Amino acid sequence: MATAKNRARRSGARKRPLGLKVALVLLIALALIGWIYREPLYGYAETGAAVGARNTCACRYIAGRSLKDCKKDFEPKMEAVFLSDDPGTGTVTGYVPLIASESATFRKGYGCVLEPWRD
């Protein structure tokens, strides 16, 4: 025969903390929003990475400025675009982590040229 104390202990063990439930609901909501807006988000990320790579390539290999100094030229709301530089090939890559990556290469006589976009 179970006492009231034992029943309370067992029912308490099955309850999940409120914070865990709230975190789960927020995670599901963020995943749903990401799924609904995936195409525009990907488009903005790809365009931002390409613009960042192209402009930084010109800044770096035509104007001769440092990568850190070139980042100052970014438009507002381009904070999610990160840059990497390969001085050996004259290539600058702009990327939004886990979403998009675009590269621009300096070519003598042509300036900085983006790699062809994939469909």
User: E strands of 1-119, at which residues?
Assistant: 82-86, 91-96, 100-107, 111-114
Within a domain: 71: yes
Please give the pLDDT value at position 89.
94
| pLDDT tens sequence across 41-62 | 899 999 999 999 999 999 999 9
Whether residue 3 has pLDDT greater than 70: no
Please give the pLDDT value at position 88.
93
Q: How many C-beta atoms lie closer than 10 Å to residue 100's C-beta?
A: 20
Within a domain: 20: no
Within a domain: 31: no
| pLDDT tens sequence across 59-95 | 999 999 998 999 999 988 899 999 999 999 999 999 9
DSSP secondary structure code for residue 3 in this structure: -
Within a domain: 24: no
pTM: 0.71
Tokens matching residue 60: 């770096």
Contact 106, 57 (CB under 8 A): yes
Within a domain: 102: yes
Expressed as residue numbers, the domain containing 106 is: 36-114
Number of domains, the chain? 1
Within a domain: 44: yes
